[in-house]
Structures are given as C-alpha cells and as structure tokens.
Amino acid sequence: MDGMKHVVLALAAAALAPAAAAQEPVKIGIVTFLSGPAAAPFGVPARNAADFVIEELNAGKAPAPYGKKGFGGSPLEMVIVDEAGSTTTQVTEFRNLVQRQNVDLVVGYVSSGNCLAIAPVAEELKKLTNFFDCGTPRIFEDASYKYVFRTSPTATMDSVGAALYVKDAKPGTKSIAGLNQNYAWGQDSWGDFELAMKTLVPNIEVKTSQMPKLFAGQYNAEISALLSAKPDVIHSSFWDGDLEALILQAGPRGLMKQSLTILTTGETAMHKLGSQIPDGTVLGARGPFGPYAPANQYNKWFHGGFVGKYKSEPNYASYQMAQAILGVKLAWEKAQDANGGKRPSNEQVGAALENMSYEGPGGTVKMAIGKGHQAIMETAYGQTRLAGGKLTVVNVKRYPAEKVNPPEGMKAADWIKGGFKAQ
Amino acid sequence: MDGAIYSAWLFIAALGLTLIYGVMKIVNVTHGSFYAIGAYAAASLTAAWLARGFPPMLSYAVLVVAAIVVAAPFAILIERVILRFMYTKDEVVILLATYALFLILEDVIKLIWGVDPYFIAEPYALLGSFQVADMAYPTYNLLLVAAALVFGGGLAWLLHSTRAGKLLLAVIHDPEISRAMGVNVGRYYLATFALGSLLAALAGAFTAPTVSVVPGLGVDVIVLSFAVVVIGGLGSLPGAALGAVIVGIVRSLSVHYLPQLELFVIYFVMAAVLAVRPRGLFSLAEPRKI
C-alpha cells in the first residue's frame, strides 16, 4: 500500500512539474552604471527603466504583445550590477553573474569598451547577452556571435543622421568643426561625421577638430578656438558633465548662436539644463527616443508610467533599456511557444531574436544587420526652442532606418565612403 | 586670455596642495575630495539661495561661505582624528592614508548629494561679458583671475608679514627645533591642513558655476594640481604660480594651434622641467640633516 502511495505522489509531482517549471523565475542580469560620471545621465535612468519595465511585466500590465506575465508566465528577477570600474572588473562581474548568480540572460552595458570585452566572454559561457546602449559598430563588424545581440542602433546612425540633418537644415554649409572627447567614442563619432559630411559636401572645409581629455571640465580655450575658426557647423558628441559644462560655458559666449551646433547626445541634458541651452541648438537622442519617440501605445505606456513613478522624464538610455528587455521577452515567448510551452534554452531564445522585428516605445526595431544580431532604427534630430520656460524641439526631421544604417554585411566606414550605397 | 583664465583656475586649484606639502610634507590626495565638497556645497546651497528668490548678487558670497562652512568640519575631523597620529610615519604611508580617505570621501559625497548633477549657471552669466579679439568672455572669468591674485598675495602676506606666518616658516624649516622653542607645532599642522583644504574647497566653489557638479569631479583636479606644483617645485608658492602660468599658456597655445597635442602637452612640459630640474623650478636646496 505504501508503494502505491509513492507511485501516486510521484505521478502527482510529475503532473505538476511543468507548471512548477513555468513558474520558476527568470533571472536577468542588468548591468549599468550606478556610480561614476555615467551614472546620472545613463546608468540610473536605465536602471529605473529596467525596474519599471520588469515590475510592469511581472504584473502583466504592459500592452500587447507584452501582456503575458513575466517571460511566458515565469516571473522576472533582476540581479543588478554596477558597470563602473575597469573592463577587467566587468569581465569578472559578468562571469560572476553567469557562474555564481546563475542568471538566465544578461541585458546591459553602456560603455563600448565593456561591450567589446564582454562579447567574446558571453560567447564562451554561452550566455544570451543583449547590449542595450553601447554604440561602437565594431562589435558585429569585426566578429560574429551566436549569443550576443544589440537591440539599439550603433553610433554610425547618430553621425550619419547628424550629417543629413546639417544638409537639410543648413544647405550651403561650407565648413565644419568638431569638439569631441579624446577616446574611442569621441574619435569614432567625429570620424563618421567628418566622413559623412565629406561624402555629402565634397568640398567641405574642416576648420578644427578639438579633442580635449575626457572629463576635462574647462573648455574656455576650445570655445575660443571654435569662435575664432567661425565654422558653419560644430559637431559634438560630448556626454555627461562634459556636455553640461560645454553648454554652461559656451552658451554665454554665443557659440551656439554663431555656428549651428549639433550635440548628438544632447537629449540627456535637455530636461536638466533646458533654460541654458540656446535656441537653435541641434539635439540628438541616439535614435527615436525621448522627444523624438513616436506616439504609439508602447510609448504612452512607458513614458506615462515612468514619469508617474519617478517624477522625471525618461531619456534615451531609459528607452534603450526598455526596448532591450521587451525584445528579449518577445523572443523568449516565441521560443517557448516553439518549444511546446516549456522553458526555452538560450540557443532557442537567440534563434528567435535573430532577424526579429518588433515594436517598442521608440518605434520599430529591426534586427537587420550583424547577421540578425544588430538592430537598426529610424533616427531623428531637431532644434531647441524655449517656450514658456520649457525646452521643446522644433524643425524635427526623421530619417528612415535604411538611410542612416549600413546594409547587412557592409562596414559602416566603407558604406559612408561609398556614398551610402550598398556595394 | 584663455591662458590667463586657465592659469588662474589651476593656481587656485593647486595652492592648497602646495601649502600642505610645504608645511607638512604630505602629498594630500584628499585635496580632490575637498575640491568636490566645495563644489557640491556651493552648488547646492547657492541653488537653494537663488530658488528662494534672495538677491542673486549675493550668490557669490554664498558660494564662498558654503564651501568654507561645509568643508571646515571635514578638514578638522580628518586632521585631528587620523592624520595627527601619522606624522611620524613614512611619507608614502601618509600618501596612502590620504588616498584611502579620498576613496571614502568620494562615497560620502555620493551619500550626501547623490549621483545627479548640480548646476548653478546664474553666477557665471550674472556679471555680463567683455570682448577680447572679437570674442565674448563672461566677466566671471575676471573674478577667477582676481581670486587667484588675492589668494596668492594673501598667502604670501600671511607667511612673510605676520607673526603666525613667520612661526609657520620656522615649523617648515625644522619642526623639532620649533617644538623645542615652544611652538605648538600640532596646532600649526591643524591650521595648515584646514587652510589648504579650505583653499581646495574654494577652488571647487569658484568652479561650480562653470561646470556640472557630478561624482568624480575631484579626480582630474588632483592630477592637474600635482602636475602644476611639481613643475613649480613641491611646496613652493611662487613655483605653483609659475607652474600654473606655464601649463595654462602652453595648453591654450596647443588648443589653438595644435589641438591634437592638447592631451599630451601638460605632461610633456612636466617631464621636460623634471628632466632639467628634478625637484621643480623653484625647489630650494634642502638643509642637510644628519
């Protein structure tokens, strides 16, 4: 009789097992800056977005097709890691996330240097990793990966979009100048912009390219050099305190009035420094985010919920984090459905995410390049205007994804040099 | 003009570092923390002052008072509770102790002020601007140059023309003999550390209106200040002034004419000076001690 009891219990346990497995939480490693200079403009807004989105998904409150609770019914657990510190630290932290914390997947990384270092480690550990913000196009240009994805567009899009905006907003531009931070991001951004401008306006004159040290803080000499060079257009990919210091120091000296000034990450400063940004400054948001986000139901849900929860506007890093989690959720559920409702493996989720196209708060995300692992999106730029004490963007121009991103299999630099044509 | 503004800023930033080294022979890494504390205190309290609709012209006084009031307790606490027990230790040990304190203070700053940036743009634009070679410069920059002259001149006067200053020079020359002559050396060390730290805090306060006050603000200042005082000779007041002027002018020339070298030029100057005069431009012959 005892034997029979055991059999019944075993059968009951077996019958309950799939349900229990479905309820087993999905652990997501979230990596973003919680300290250091990148925390305030990117890290904390992205962490807040992750908090908000995961809370909404767990409550099943997100709009369709994101309405199912958690990931395919399994609740989400967030393991958050600070991205500050050296690249070596980040590689160690990533290994900890995977091997000690046993996360199911990782969404993270603002720094391009960290993305370049983490990608091969993610591949080695066979852990699905979605980069949400870093910009370098080299990740999928120089290598191909099975487990690594990026659901936000590359920095190439920002620079090409900026050049196209110059051509549209200031036809007859004859000279340009740059003010960028002297490291990979600043140099790549200026390199792509200069190349794109030379392709669009073959006789363009480069007046000066200023490359101060990252976090230098004092830019009077650079501003003087730009004022005396009198270029038609100034390009700057400054971010964080450097961007804010530039606005505070250049505004009173009339730099933005003299030259059309493009701040490719300017959106992160618009809510904090609104009244200090002179009218007519061109602001970028690294894609259709923030003030350039479409009026779709996902943006309504995300923007409204974020502002309600944090009493502050979500910036582009927040949008990128939200769409990174939503993309992985869709892929997870697609893979789970294909797996007969059972929890999918990282390989199955990766296969579902490859070449996927989905809608998010920033509009359509197409995993169209990098063998289906790299997103392209449309982008937008506009000029500032202070109205009633609130900074708005006017003269907004949008550029379709295919116009500002290279086609599949082509390196960004070759595409720009070739006149934005597929070879 | 750019060179003069940058030199003035560098001089104010480096002054406290050279004073503390000159008297106490401490390479004080917490200098960067006091710079950041000064900037945060000035930015947050001046913003509160302006938000309450108080007269904007008085915001300059608020900048100064805020930096002093907030930084002074930290300075006194650090000297009395930690550093005074370390003066007999090796210079490297004290350097490491101040580095540890710097790391702790970085987190204390985050605990107090968070990671969000602080801005106070008003004092920078309030005084209007002046023209040099067809370019506008906010008049605030002249205030910075004036502050550098006042601080440098004031400190020189204090050291050479007051009784306390002369006693301090005696302490610098030989603390042991000074102690034997009845000078309260401990009190002079405390006063020097407090004054040096307050100078760093004031440098932060004067910088606050021109920048975004963010975590990590003090890191670069230590490196730059150190370069300036090393060029001039550690512990030398005229050395710090000359070091600031050289670095300011060389950097500005580089930005205007060879921007690709800007990153390298300050350290090139430092290396060149040290190659010719290993103890800096204004180093004095050390009295030989048996």
Rg (CA), chain B: 19
Cβ contact (<8 Å) for B138 and A252? yes
Nearest to B11 by CA among B282, B176, B248, B271: B248
Q: CA A246 → CA A181, A233, A250, B215, distances in Å?
A: 12, 16, 6, 17
Contacts of A53 (CB under 8 A, 6+ apart): A62, A302, A321, A322, A325, A326
Q: Does B223 touch chain A (CB under 8 A)?
A: no
Strands A233-236 and A205-210 come out as: unpaired
Q: How far is CA B7 from the centre of its chain?
A: 12
Rg (CA), chain A: 23
Cβ contact (<8 Å) for A240 and B214? yes
Helix (H, G, I), strand (E, B) or coil at A260: strand
pLDDT reported for residue A421? 77
pLDDT for residue A65 is more than 90 = yes
Q: Which residue of B has its CA nearest to A35?
A: B115
Burial of B148 (0-12, 13-18, 19+ CB in 10 A): buried
pLDDT reported for residue A420? 84
Contacts of B264 (CB under 8 A, 6+ apart): none
Asked whether A382 and A161 are in contact (CB, 8 A), the reply is no
Strands A233-236 and A175-179 come out as: parallel
Single-letter code of the amino acid located at B96: L
Distance from CA of B82 to the nearest CA of A (A): 27
Helix (H, G, I), strand (E, B) or coil at B139: coil
Residues composing chain A: 423
Asked whether A393 and A384 are in contact (CB, 8 A), the reply is yes
Task: Point out the residue among A218, A241, A253 whose CB comes nearest to the CB of B214.
Answer: A241
Cβ contact (<8 Å) for A249 and B210? yes
Looking at residue A76, what DSSP letter applies? E
Least confident stretch, A249-263, A350-364, B223-237: B223-237
Asked whether B47 and B212 are in contact (CB, 8 A), the reply is no
pLDDT for residue A10 is more than 70 = no
pLDDT reported for residue A371? 93
**Degrees to nearest 5, angle at CA B268 with B263 and B274:** 145
Task: Point out the residue among B116, B214, B255 whose CB comes nearest to the CB of A222.
Answer: B255
Contacts of A2 (CB under 8 A, 6+ apart): none
Contacts of A84 in chain B (CB under 8 A): none
Cβ contact (<8 Å) for A221 and B207? no
- Residues of B numbered 33-72 whose beta carbons fall under 8 angstroms of chain A's beta carbons: which are they? none
Distance from CA of B57 to the nearest CA of A (A): 18
Nearest to B205 by CA among B98, B75, B104, B118: B118
Distance from CA of A282 to the nearest CA of B (A): 20
Nearest to A288 by CA among A316, A247, A266, A311: A316
Q: Does B5 touch chain A (CB under 8 A)?
A: yes
pLDDT reported for residue A17? 47
pLDDT for residue A179 is more than 60 = yes
Q: How far apart are CA B223 and CA A259, in angstroms?
A: 33
Residue A349's pLDDT band (cuts 50, 70, 90): very high
Contacts of A224 in chain B (CB under 8 A): 1-2, 135, 252, 255-256
pLDDT reported for residue B9? 86
Q: How far is CA B46 from the centre of its chain?
A: 21
Q: How far apart are CA A12 and CA A174, in angstroms?
A: 78
Distance from CA of A44 to the nearest CA of B (A): 9
* Per-residue pLDDT tens digits for B12-35: 888 888 888 877 788 888 899 999
**For chain B, what is the total number of helices (H) and then of strands (E)?**
12, 2
| B-interface mutation test, from A248, A263, A275, A391, most B Cβ less than 10 A away | A248
Residue-averaged pLDDT of chain B = 86
Q: Which residue of B has its CA nearest to A208?
A: B259
Q: How far apart are CA A181 and CA A55, in angstroms?
A: 37
Residues composing chain B: 290
Q: How far apart are CA A101 and CA A104, in angstroms?
A: 9
Asked whether A337 and A354 are in contact (CB, 8 A), the reply is no
Q: What is the mean pLDDT of residues A218-235?
A: 91
Q: How far apart are CA B257 and CA A208, in angstroms?
A: 9
Q: Does B220 touch chain A (CB under 8 A)?
A: yes
Pairwise pLDDT comparison (B47 vs A103), residue with the higher score: A103
Q: How far apart are CA B101 and CA B105, in angstroms?
A: 6
- Residues of B numbered 8-37 whose beta carbons fall under 8 angstroms of chain A's beta carbons: which are they? 9
Q: What is the mean pLDDT of residues B202-207?
A: 92
Question: Phi and psi dihedrals of A131, rounded to 5?
Answer: -75, 130
Least confident stretch, A124-128, A310-314, B239-243: B239-243
Q: CA A73 → CA A24, A76, A106, A180, B256, distances in Å?
A: 9, 9, 19, 46, 61
What residues form DSSP beta bridges with A360? A363
Cβ contact (<8 Å) for B211 and A222? no
Task: Point out the residue among A44, A210, A251 whose CB comes nearest to the CB of B259.
Answer: A210
What residues form DSSP beta bridges with A175? A205
Q: Which residue of B has its CA nearest to A43?
A: B115
Q: How far is CA A27 from the centre of its chain?
A: 21
Residue A38's pLDDT band (cuts 50, 70, 90): confident
Please report where in the chains the tokens 């920048």 appear, as a residue. Answer: B211
Nearest to A201 by CA among A156, A168, A235: A168
Q: Is the pTM of this model over 0.80?
A: yes
Cβ contact (<8 Å) for B259 and A209? yes
Q: What is the mean pLDDT of residues B4-15?
A: 87
Q: How far apart are CA B125 and CA B127, in angstroms?
A: 6
Number of Cβ atoms within 10 Å of the Cβ of A398: 16
Contacts of A391 in chain B (CB under 8 A): none
* Per-residue pLDDT tens digits for B138-189: 888 888 899 999 999 998 898 888 888 888 888 887 878 888 888 887 888 8
Question: Phi and psi dihedrals of B168, rounded to 5?
Answer: -65, -40
* Per-residue pLDDT tens digits for A17-27: 444 445 789 99
Cβ contact (<8 Å) for B259 and A248? no
Task: Point out the residue among A39, A217, A276 whose CB comes nearest to the CB of B211.
Answer: A217
pLDDT reported for residue B122? 83
pLDDT reported for residue B287? 53
Distance from CA of B259 to the nearest CA of A (A): 6
Asked whether A164 and A393 are in contact (CB, 8 A), the reply is no
Question: Phi and psi dihedrals of A297, rounded to 5?
Answer: -65, -30
Helix (H, G, I), strand (E, B) or coil at B150: helix
pLDDT for residue A15 is more than 50 = no
Task: Point out the residue among A43, A221, A251 whose CB comes nearest to the CB of B2.
Answer: A221
Helix (H, G, I), strand (E, B) or coil at A64: coil
Residue B124's pLDDT band (cuts 50, 70, 90): confident
Number of Cβ atoms within 10 Å of the Cβ of A252: 23
Asked whether B114 and B42 are in contact (CB, 8 A), the reply is no
Q: Does B251 touch chain A (CB under 8 A)?
A: yes
Q: Does B215 touch chain A (CB under 8 A)?
A: yes
Taken in order A133, A33, A52, A72, the sign of the CA dihedral is positive
Cβ contact (<8 Å) for B119 and A276? yes
Distance from CA of A312 to the nearest CA of B (A): 12
Q: How far apart are CA A31 and CA A118, in angstroms?
A: 11
pLDDT for residue B285 is more than 80 = no
Number of Cβ atoms within 10 Å of the Cβ of B45: 20
Q: Does B139 touch chain A (CB under 8 A)?
A: no
* Per-residue pLDDT tens digits for A273-322: 878 899 999 999 999 999 999 999 999 999 999 999 999 999 999 999 99
| B-interface mutation test, from A47, A190, A213, A220, most B Cβ less than 10 A away | A220
Q: How far apart are CA A265 and CA A270, in angstroms?
A: 10
Single-letter code of the amino acid located at B101: L
Where does residue A73 fall: left (phi above 0), alpha (psi -120 to 50 degrees), or beta otherwise? left
| B-interface mutation test, from A218, A240, A265, A273, most B Cβ less than 10 A away | A218
pLDDT reported for residue A20? 44
Number of Cβ atoms within 10 Å of the Cβ of A337: 13
Token pair in block for residue A35: 């300290």
Q: How far apart are CA B247 and CA B3, in angstroms?
A: 8
Looking at residue A251, what DSSP letter applies? G
Task: Point out the residue among A224, A241, A249 whose CB comes nearest to the CB of B117.
Answer: A241
Residue A103's pLDDT band (cuts 50, 70, 90): very high
pLDDT reported for residue A422? 63
Please report where in the chains the tokens 């000159």 appear, as a residue. Answer: B22
Cβ contact (<8 Å) for A36 and B216? yes
pLDDT reported for residue A262? 96
Residue-averaged pLDDT of chain A = 90
Task: Point out the residue among A212, A228, A251 whose CB comes nearest to the CB of B135.
Answer: A228
pLDDT reported for residue B284? 60
Please list, residue by residue across A277-308, b when 16 or more beta carbons sit within 10 angstroms of its beta carbon and e when fewer do: bbeebbbbbbbbbbbbbbebebbebbbebbee
Q: Does B214 touch chain A (CB under 8 A)?
A: yes
Asked whether A370 and A142 are in contact (CB, 8 A), the reply is no
